[in-house]
Amino acid sequence: MNADEKIRVAVVGAGAFGRNHARIYAELQRAGEPVELLALVDQNRARAEAVLGELGLSGAIRAYSHVDDLLADPANLHITAASVAVPTGQHLQVSQTLMQGGVDVLIEKPIAATLNDAGEMIATAERTGRIAMAGHLERFNPAIRATLPLVTRPMFFEVHRLSVFTPRSLDVDVVLDLMIHDLDIVLWLVRSPIREIRAVGIPILSSKVDIANVRVEFGTGCVANFTASRVSTERVRKLRFFQPRQYVSLDYGRRDVFSLSVQPAEPPANDVAPPVPGFDIALPSGFRLVPSRPRIDDEEPLRSELRAFLDAVRTRSAPPITLEEARAALAVALEIQEQIANHTRRAGII
């Protein structure tokens, strides 16, 4: 595809996620980037039309109630790429229909409700030659981007993702709704087979698990503790990890990264380095504690994600987050769900 040729896109799903996808595609188009938003699809066409009105796109963008209607439209919009932001249980059917219709897809997390569905998506992408990218948004958070150069050999993670309760995404539990973000990030950073998983969780305000705590041990010896809750009084998205001679703390929401590392002292080497406030630790002679805060850009993560997707479509290259990677995170999430179900049955909770 020519670098100046516009990618003709559609968004499937007019909920909170779909609305943001449509908003950013339209913003990129207005900014002169080679993309053109042409359609918004939702089973409730009136909702799609309402979203277009809210975004100031009424009349310019067509609304449809089904992807089949989009692909069969006599107007022949020649859609070449689409964001899939429908409920998880519909991901397979919608993405397959699009890929079989010659459309590249970005599929919101979790990509599927089952490993079989994820496998069918992967097979369809391979068979049709379509670009298929998973939408794990936190990989594009500026804070995690600033953290990547600091990662050497992480050995311990402490991860918290807490949210206030909302009726959104109650088709899945807190593991697939929230924790899967952090499972994907830690799997990406550690890159090691999992040795053991231990998990507990309970439903509180919904029929599905609303709070969960998980311990994962990797083949490298790295251990990661995850806590996810959608019944919190505040929103927290934090990750901390420890590796030889370094501690790194990451706040996704505030987009802040703090690192504290042990480094050789500046000459004279036999002087004991002064303590860092809050870290009054006596170090061996010749070493010092060095705090740092990497520079972090301010681009909206979803904008970065959509740009990465469009770049993969334009260059016909592998997307930065493959369906295989998303399937790996899903496999861990489903194992966690099974362990939680076993625990709650033994405890007589449900």
Residue 346 forms part of a structural domain? no
Residue 85 forms part of a structural domain? yes
Statement to judge: residues 71 and 196 lie in one domain: no
Phi/psi region, residue 230 (left: phi>0; alpha: psi -120 to 50; beta: rest), is alpha
Mean pLDDT is lowest, of 24-38, 140-154, 265-279, for 265-279
Statement to judge: residues 119 and 164 lie in one domain: no
Task: Name the band, by pLDDT with cuts 50, 70 and 90, for residue 180.
Answer: very high
Task: Name the band, by pLDDT with cuts 50, 70 and 90, for residue 269.
Answer: very low
Higher-scoring residue by pLDDT: 262, 82? 82
Domains: count for the chain: 2
Please count the other Cβ atoms lying within 10 Å of the Cβ belonging to residue 56.
10
> Tell me, what CATH number does 67's domain have?
3.40.50.720
Q: Which tens digits make up the pLDDT trace of 103-113?
A: 999 999 999 99
pLDDT at 63: 97
Residue 350 forms part of a structural domain? no
Q: Which tens digits make up the pLDDT trace of 294-336?
A: 999 989 999 999 999 999 999 999 999 999 999 999 999 999 9
Half-sphere exposure of 53 (CA within 13 A, CB side): 6
pLDDT at 273: 53
167 DSSP assignment: S
pLDDT at 264: 83
pLDDT at 172: 86
Statement to judge: residues 102 and 190 lie in one domain: no
pLDDT at 268 over 80: no
> Tell me, what CATH number does 196's domain have?
3.30.360.10
Task: Name the band, by pLDDT with cuts 50, 70 and 90, for residue 287.
Answer: confident
Share of the chain above pLDDT 90, in %: 83
Mean per-residue pLDDT for 200-206?
A: 93
pLDDT at 278: 66
pLDDT at 217 over 90: yes
Higher-scoring residue by pLDDT: 2, 155? 155
Residues 6+ apart with CB under 8 A from 240: 157, 158, 159, 247, 248, 249, 250
Residue 19 forms part of a structural domain? yes
Residue 244 forms part of a structural domain? yes
pLDDT at 271 over 70: no
Statement to judge: residues 246 and 315 lie in one domain: no
Average pLDDT over all residues of the chain: 93
pLDDT at 105: 99
pLDDT at 142 over 50: yes
Mean per-residue pLDDT for 112-121?
A: 97
d(CA 211, CA 219): 27
Statement to judge: residues 154 and 288 lie in one domain: yes
Higher-scoring residue by pLDDT: 90, 344? 90
pLDDT at 139 over 50: yes
pLDDT at 345: 83
Pairing of strands 156-162, 236-243: antiparallel
Statement to judge: residues 266 and 294 lie in one domain: yes
pLDDT at 50: 97
pLDDT at 241 over 50: yes
Q: Roughly what angle, to the nearest 10 degrees, separates helices 115-128 and 91-100?
A: 10
pLDDT at 37 over 90: yes
User: Which range of residues forms the domain containing residue 222?
Assistant: 139-300+334-341
pLDDT at 80 over 50: yes
Statement to judge: residues 278 and 181 lie in one domain: yes
Task: Name the band, by pLDDT with cuts 50, 70 and 90, for residue 70.
Answer: very high
